[in-house]
Structure 1
Amino acid sequence: MYVAVKGGERAIDNAHAWLAEERRGDPSVAELSVAQIREQLRLAVNRVMAEGSLHDPDLAALAIKQARGDLIEAIFLIRAYRTTLPRFGHAQPVDTAEMACDRRVSATFKDVPGGQVLGPTFDYTHRLLDFKLMAEGGVPEAETAAPRDEPVPHVTSFLNREGLIQSEPEGDEVPPDLTRAPLELPADRALRLQALARGDEGFLLSLAYSTQRGYGNSHAFVGELRIGTVAVEMEIPELGLAVGIGEIGLTECETVNKFAGSRVEPPQFTRGYGLVFGQSERKALSMALVDRALRSKELGVEVSGSPAHDEEFVLSHCDNIQATGFLEHIKLPHYVDFQSEMELVRKMRAEIAACRAKEAAE
């Protein structure tokens, strides 16, 4: 129960003014523009778009600036704004096989059609501070390869040719929309993937790590990780056909896991899947590992009881906005609640003291 505090509105206004001052920082330092954040903090922008469920780099950059770099607060701002937007229609499913890849690697096959494309990645850096960046110089000259426009096949299609990997059913059923309806358990895979795509990167990373350390019953290989742009198409009823409305950047990850088989399925490989906005390799890979862990029951694999296998635990706790709201609400006034509990503790202490006094007298 909350109670009103006299003078609270004035205090809140002053807190907001102080927040704006702290956000601006030292006035003698040039203000950071939304364009600078969008172009130079692109990975942060990508995370805000992915977990905020809204693909708009400018708004994501604005949210990061407003939130003083607090990405979860920025995600909250984007989700809140998203609820105000009208929905005009639905895009067609994007075809990632037609992706123009900036980066495309496989840990399962050395030689793949289209080749291994390292792309822009931290994987091969030395993780040493580059003090030249403090000089705020220009971009070092380097040979930059253009994105590959020609489509490259998915690596798992090679396993499909021999029937070594479980086939994915292609249904016409429209999946539920997690942004418009509450999560219901048990959830089908389409709904689980939506929740994981919006889930907190750190939470999913920890769960994925737990499956690698033995709290899971599978060992994953990265069948393919690809980053690039795909065309977005929307069907126009008046025209009777789908037309392109733009392009978006995506990261897609497919993991390959050995499956010993069951009474109805032969030994084969199974998949984990991750797909997120922009370049977000860690999130896509974590999502794929957790997706595969959550598929254990439907695959007939013995579940060890680890957290990553527990659908209710994972899906009920992966959303950082829900978690933040419930966590941070305890900072708000709970004066009446606490007073009642304090009275209860006093009463309990008095009863115990009276009992001890009685025992001592006897």
Structure 2
Amino acid sequence: MYVAVKGGEKAIENAHGLLAEERRGDVSVPELTVDQIEQQMGLAVDRVMNEGALYDRRLAAIAVKQAQGDLPEAVFLLRAYRTTLPRIGFSLPMETSAMHLRRRISATFKDLPGGQMLGPTYDYTHRLLDFSLERPRAQEPGGGDKGPKPPGEETPCPRVSDLLAAEGIMAAEETGVGDEVPGDLTRQPLKVPAERPVRLQNLARGDEGFLLSMAYSAQRGFGTSDHPFAGEIRMGEVSLEMVPEELGFPVVIGEITVTECVMITPPGPSKQGEAPVLTQGYGLAFGRSERKAMAMAIVDRTLCSRELGEKVAYPAQDEEFVLCHSDSLEASGFVQHLKLPHYVDFQSELVLLRDLRNDHREGHRTCDAIPN
């Protein structure tokens, strides 16, 4: 047994060495730097920050490099590091209506109060391979910036949902401001049924592909929000505030880039005595994560079926199904654990199967011995 353990240790060390060689690749090619990943693979970095539940572009870029671009593995690395960090307090709710906008669009209002802003987007690009990207672009004068700077003074743009709520045609939303601190999925296990703040935490950390699939299923008819409207999608920088105990008043501790999405659903059957209203789903994600925020908003709305008195009949409405299977880390771990040794389990299955086959053969022999 001791020899087996030592042999296993050496094999694992060798595997680590081979992995480092594979990660580096051809040494004649310049090594990819963390700065390059952070600046030029921003959408991958944003996804890792979202599912890793940690806003730190540098650390996310390191994780992407270490994982060779395998984003679920990079999420695993970032989550593992996150568990070593101390919790020093809680921030106040972000005021996204005061966002320094870089992108703001609405599919519900052409003349949106405050205006529409296309911003950086792939929506209008041709899906053709750009072979000019094989050649490095010349450094432009004054280059080297860390990305677009948010504008200075801006007039706050009200959210579309706030405009509709002021008209009385949008269902009232519980803000949660002033209530007790919501549950923390990083410290308490998920319990179903879950309150909406916990559900939103789960979805914010959820695998983008899974949420996209659930949102798609809801739109195809396996849910209530079969055709939601993109009330508003906005992306930009938001100030983060917290109230230190020793001060007693809010202070700005930094600024983060976020993408916010509100999906509006047409009114369904209303309760007796109540006027019909629009309902909404909400999505908020780190960085430029538009697809994630949109899918999150659609799935959030489908998971509100129980509170809205709607029949829960489809996978996207099933709270336990969605919340318990959305985490890429848990899903990946449960599938990949099948690579680990299961020698004893499999041998017991073989013993059982051989016994059953012997019983089957003996039964046939007994039948053959009985005269007609």
TMscore range, shorter length: over 0.9
2:305 is aligned, of 293, 296, 303, to: 296
Q: Distance in 2 between matches of 1:89 and 1:302?
A: 39
* Alignment match, 2:318: 310
Using a 3 Å threshold, how does the CA distance of structure 1 residues 115 and 147 change in structure 2: closer, same or farther?
farther
Contact persistence 1:293–1:308 (CA under 8 A)? yes
- 1:91 deviates by 1.2
Of 70-79 and 228-237, deviating more is 228-237
2:251 is aligned, of 230, 243, 248, to: 243
* Alignment match, 2:340: 332
* Alignment match, 1:198: 205
Residues 2-29 of structure 1: CA deviation (Å, up to 9, x unaligned):
xx65611111110000000000000000
Q: Distance in 2 between matches of 1:145 and 1:180?
A: 36
Residues 169-228 of structure 1: CA deviation (Å, up to 9, x unaligned):
233222101111110111010000000000000000000001111111222000000000
- Within a 5 Å distance, the mapping from 1:258-273 to structure 2 comes to 258-260=266-268, 261-263=270-272, 265-273=274-282
Of 294-303 and 327-336, deviating more is 294-303
| Aligned residue type for 2:339 | K
* Alignment match, 2:144: none
Contact persistence 1:175–1:190 (CA under 8 A)? yes
Residues 80-131 of structure 1: CA deviation (Å, up to 9, x unaligned):
0000011111111111111101000000000112211000000000111111
Using a 3 Å threshold, how does the CA distance of structure 1 residues 6 and 339 change in structure 2: closer, same or farther?
farther
* Alignment match, 1:187: 194
SS of 1:349's equivalent in the other structure is helix
Using a 3 Å threshold, how does the CA distance of structure 1 residues 178 and 6 change in structure 2: closer, same or farther?
same
SS of 1:59's equivalent in the other structure is helix
SS of 2:250's equivalent in the other structure is strand
1:287 is aligned, of 278, 292, 296, to: 296
Q: Distance in 2 between matches of 1:26 and 1:200?
A: 32
Using a 3 Å threshold, how does the CA distance of structure 1 residues 217 and 243 change in structure 2: closer, same or farther?
same
Structure 1 portions without partners, runs of 5+: none
Using a 3 Å threshold, how does the CA distance of structure 1 residues 280 and 324 change in structure 2: closer, same or farther?
same
- Does the alignment pair 1:353 with 2:361? yes
* Alignment match, 1:319: 327
SS of 1:7's equivalent in the other structure is helix
Q: Distance in 2 between matches of 1:134 and 1:14?
A: 34
* Alignment match, 1:343: 351
Please tell me the root mean square deviation across aligned C-alpha atoms, in Å: 1.6
Residues 134-179 of structure 1: CA deviation (Å, up to 9, x unaligned):
11113799xx996453321101122112201001123322210111
SS of 2:232's equivalent in the other structure is strand
Q: Distance in 2 between matches of 1:27 and 1:145?
A: 33
* Alignment match, 2:24: 24
Structure 2 portions without partners, runs of 5+: 142-146
- Does the alignment pair 1:164 with 2:169? yes
Residues 15-57 of structure 1: CA deviation (Å, up to 9, x unaligned):
0000000000000000000000000000000000010000000
Fraction of identical pairs, as percent: 58
SS of 1:9's equivalent in the other structure is helix
2:221 is aligned, of 211, 214, 218, to: 214
Q: Distance in 1 between matches of 2:174 and 2:79?
A: 32
SS of 1:11's equivalent in the other structure is helix
Q: TM-score, normalised by structure 1?
A: 0.95
Of 60-69 and 230-239, deviating more is 230-239
